[in-house]
Amino acid sequence: MNKQLEYYGRCWLKNKLAILTQVHRTSFKRMYSYAFKTDKDGATYVPPNGKCDMNKDIDIVVDELPADRLNWAMNQVENSLLGLDQKTPV
């Protein structure tokens, strides 16, 4: 992913996470606030003894998110936003 797209993705995530509920943001932290490692092929993974840091600010979690996880994180946030829209009475 090029740096411009990566920057856009991180900004998009921060803006959309601000719209979501605290429950959604907590869930996001549980999934992404790990100290990711990189294998010899460049793929990221969570080490077996890895622990999430629930005290991190959500923006820092987004900033530290590996680039290869951005697309998946954006899809999850988008689906959460769509779920909120369906629950909102018209």
- Tens digit of pLDDT for each residue in 75-88? 999 999 998 876 65
70-75 contacts: CB < 8 A, separation 24 or more?
70/1, 70/6, 70/9, 70/10, 70/13, 71/9, 73/13, 73/28, 73/31, 73/32, 74/9, 74/12, 74/13
All residue ranges of the chain with pLDDT < 70 are 86-90
Per-residue model confidence (pLDDT) at position 90: 45
How many other C-beta atoms are found inside a 10 Å radius of the C-beta of residue 83?
12
Q: Which of 84, 83, 70, 87 is nearest to 14 (CA)?
A: 70
pLDDT the model gives residue 71? 95
